[in-house]
């Protein structure tokens, strides 16, 4: 056995550390086990570093292993561990639907609906008029039908679940025909061929990567075919020489052969995106009007609501989907129902939806207003921190979240650099701040895009930035 490193013998015992004022004070307001775990973790960290030094590391020289220093370090760790891990952040990236940052922030009305429902009992599955058992879907179905023109609707956990459930309910054991140009992968784990296989459906690919014609679908139809599936290429675009078959033609062809026409819209949107200078994104009501039997889309992409997967379409097919055993496993909870109902209600008045749903507010923000806010923020930062190198640049914001991948919205960026400081280190400090701020990093500069920062958050952002710049 090798001899114990002298530093290891010097490390104080857990009990002694806990008696230090820094930790004693924390023990009064935090759970003991949390503080204890932080102390043990801190000591363990030192033990590992000290043992590693045997192999030639040099960080130990002049190390202060006093009880007070270690207690201080453990106290900081404990305080950090006492914060919720999931917390609000400021999204200064300019990516409106940032999947890593929770996609769509909810409208105030939706957040209030969630709060009012979650604190007590609610009529989730009770029909208040008849006093009998009702369906949780009833709170959403009428609104969805009114907004999309469909006969019926069912809502599940997310759009991946919606596509899976649809295929499994309507085409299990049969063939479904899809264009080769539409075999999407979204976010690494939703891969259409694999979702189809998991749903018990045989994929029949037709056409080529760039061109698929009506005759390709037609030639692939057999006695085993159940449906023609159209998938929106949400997160990529085919450019150059391309051909695809539109929803109306797919529906016509499917119905002429007694087959189903179904469509995965991905994001799905209820209002015209060209209003905001964006490329057109297919609208749910257009797919229904084109004759699609079933259409699926996400709740938290361009709808701007909670995570959910929405299936709208013909009543008998929706009933069949609801009867699938898996529908229970994929169903939405009451908080989602509350948030989605409130979000959908806003769309009854399109202007209200644009004003009150955060993603539309962000997408509709004018360049002049963004510039004004950026100028104000930059001027105030210059007042406090004369050494900071700040400039305003023209750039573009992105829609993100696997929707409108090529769209670029003109924006104003605050570009910031602190001479002698690494940009990545500053970005790390901002992420570790309270609230955390997420920024873009580009060539040793930090870029802030206020499009995704609510105007009411400007002050908070300034404070978070000031705190990060002041830190030694
Ligand atoms: C985003 C997307 C999905 C997955 O939707 P989630 O709501 O993230 O599960 C499926 N299909 C398409 C075409 C998409 O764009």
Residue bearing the CA closest to ligand 1, atom 7: 159
Place of tokens 């960080």: 59
* H or E element in which residue 179 lies: strand 175-179
452 alpha carbon to ligand 1 midpoint, in Å? 22
160 alpha carbon to ligand 1 midpoint, in Å? 6
37 alpha carbon to ligand 1 midpoint, in Å? 40
For residues 255 and 366, state if they share a domain: no
CATH number at residue 268: 3.40.640.10
Which residue range(s) make up the domain with 220?
108-355
- Please report the pLDDT score of residue 472 as a whole number: 58
CATH number at residue 457: 3.90.1150.110
Contact 401, 96 (CB under 8 A): yes
Condensed to tens digits (0 to 9), the pLDDT of residues 389-407 reads 999 999 999 999 888 888 9
Instruction: Find residue 228's DSSP bridge partners.
Output: 177, 261
Condensed to tens digits (0 to 9), the pLDDT of residues 326-365 reads 999 999 999 999 999 999 999 999 999 999 999 999 999 9
| Beta strand ranges found along 255-377 (DSSP E) | 260-264, 294-298, 309-313
For residues 41 and 162, state if they share a domain: no
The pLDDT of residue 221 is above 90: yes
For residues 77 and 118, state if they share a domain: no
- Please report the pLDDT score of residue 197 as a whole number: 95
Choosing from 164, 195, 298 the residue with most ligand 1 atoms within 8 A of its CB, the one to mutate for a pocket test is 298
Contact 81, 92 (CB under 8 A): no
The pLDDT of residue 58 is above 60: no
CB neighbourhood size of 130 (10 A): 8
Residue bearing the CA closest to ligand 1, atom 14: 266
Residue bearing the CA closest to ligand 1, atom 15: 266
Listed residues 312, 329, 355: the one ending a domain: 355
- Please report the pLDDT score of residue 428 as a whole number: 96
467 alpha carbon to ligand 1 midpoint, in Å? 38
Sign of the dihedral defined by the CA atoms of residues 105, 111, 117, 119, in that order: positive
Q: For 307-325, what is the mean pLDDT?
A: 98
Instruction: Give the atom of ligand 1 at the shortest distance from the alpha carbon of 234.
Output: 15
DSSP conformational letter for 28: T
Helix (H, G, I), strand (E, B) or coil at 98: strand
Instruction: Find residue 392's DSSP bridge partners.
Output: 414
- Please report the pLDDT score of residue 140 as a whole number: 98
Listed residues 308, 327, 355: the one ending a domain: 355
Residue bearing the CA closest to ligand 1, atom 6: 159
Residue bearing the CA closest to ligand 1, atom 13: 266
The pLDDT of residue 164 is above 80: yes
Listed residues 355, 373, 408: the one ending a domain: 355
Q: For 98-111, what is the mean pLDDT?
A: 97
Residue bearing the CA closest to ligand 1, atom 11: 266
Q: Taking CB atoms and a 6 Å cutoff, what residues make up the pocket around ligand 1?
A: 158-160, 163, 184, 186, 190, 231-232, 234, 264, 266-267, 298, 309, 402
Give the residue among 20, 17, 4, 7 at the shortest CA–CA distance from 62: 7
Q: Which two tokens stand for residue 352?
A: 């209200």
Share of the chain above pLDDT 70, in %: 97
Confidence band of 384 (pLDDT split at 50, 70, 90): confident
For residues 376 and 323, state if they share a domain: no
Place of tokens 């139809």: 221
How many structural domains does the chain have? Answer: 3
For residues 290 and 397, state if they share a domain: no
- Please report the pLDDT score of residue 189 as a whole number: 85
Condensed to tens digits (0 to 9), the pLDDT of residues 190-220 reads 999 999 999 999 999 999 999 999 999 999 9
State the Cα–Cα distance between residues 229 and 467, nearest whole angstrom: 52
Give the residue among 366, 409, 84 at the shortest CA–CA distance from 273: 409
Residue bearing the CA closest to ligand 1, atom 8: 159
Q: Write the CB contacts of 281 (distance below 8 Å, at least 6 apart in sequence).
A: 267, 269, 273, 302, 403, 404
Task: Tell me which of 5 and 261 has the higher pLDDT.
Answer: 261
Give the residue among 351, 361, 348, 367 at the shortest CA–CA distance from 304: 361
For residues 153 and 206, state if they share a domain: yes
């Amino acid at each position: 056995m090798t001899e114990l490193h002298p530093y290891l013998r010097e490390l104080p015992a857990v009990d002694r550390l806990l008696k230090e004022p820094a930790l004693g004070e924390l023990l009064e307001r935090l759970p003991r086990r949390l503080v204890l775990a932080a102390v043990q973790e801190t000591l363990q960290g030192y033990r590992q570093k000290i043992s590693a030094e045997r192999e030639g590391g040099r960080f130990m020289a002049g190390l202060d292993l006093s009880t007070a220093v270690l207690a201080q370090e453990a106290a900081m760790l404990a305080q950090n561990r006492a914060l919720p891990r999931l917390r609000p952040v400021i999204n200064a990236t300019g990516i409106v639907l940032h999947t890593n940052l929770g996609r769509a922030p909810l409208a105030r009305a939706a957040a209030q609906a969630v709060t009012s429902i979650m604190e007590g009992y609610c009529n989730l599955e009770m029909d208040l008029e008849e006093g009998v058992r009702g369906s949780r879907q009833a709170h959403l179905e009428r609104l969805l039908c009114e907004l999309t023109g469909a006969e019926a609707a069912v809502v599940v956990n997310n759009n991946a679940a919606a596509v899976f459930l649809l295929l499994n309910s309507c085409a299990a054991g049969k063939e479904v025909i899809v264009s080769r140009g539409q075999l999407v992968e979204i976010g690494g784990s939703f891969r259409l061929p694999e979702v189809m296989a998991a749903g018990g459906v045989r994929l029949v690919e037709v056409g080529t990567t760039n061109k698929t014609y009506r005759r390709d679908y037609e030639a692939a139809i057999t006695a085993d075919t159940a449906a023609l599936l159209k998938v929106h290429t949400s997160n990529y675009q085919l450019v150059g020489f391309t051909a695809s078959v539109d929803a109306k033609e797919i529906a016509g062809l499917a119905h002429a052969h007694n087959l189903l026409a179904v469509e995965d819209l991905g994001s799905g949107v209820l209002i015209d995106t060209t209003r905001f200078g964006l490329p057109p994104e297919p609208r749910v009501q257009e797919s229904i009007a084109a004759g699609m039997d079933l259409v699926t889309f996400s709740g938290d992409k361009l709808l701007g609501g909670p995570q959910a997967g929405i299936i709208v379409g013909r009543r008998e097919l929706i009933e069949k989907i609801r009867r699938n055993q898996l529908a229970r496993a994929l169903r939405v909870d009451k908080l989602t129902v509350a948030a989605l109902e409130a979000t959908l209600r806003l769309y009854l008045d399109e202007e209200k939806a644009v004003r009150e749903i955060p993603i539309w507010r962000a997408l509709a923000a004018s360049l002049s207003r963004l510039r004004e806010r950026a100028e104000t923020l930059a001027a105030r930062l210059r007042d406090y921190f004369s050494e900071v190198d700040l400039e305003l640049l023209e750039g573009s914001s992105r829609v993100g979240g696997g929707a409108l991948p090529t769209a670029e919205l003109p924006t104003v960026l605050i570009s910031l650099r602190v001479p002698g400081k690494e940009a990545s280190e500053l970005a790390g400090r901002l992420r570790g701040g309270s609230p955390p701020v997420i920024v873009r990093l580009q060539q040793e500069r930090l870029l802030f895009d206020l499009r995704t920062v609510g105007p009411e958050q400007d002050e908070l952002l300034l404070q978070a930035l000031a705190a990060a710049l002041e830190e030694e």
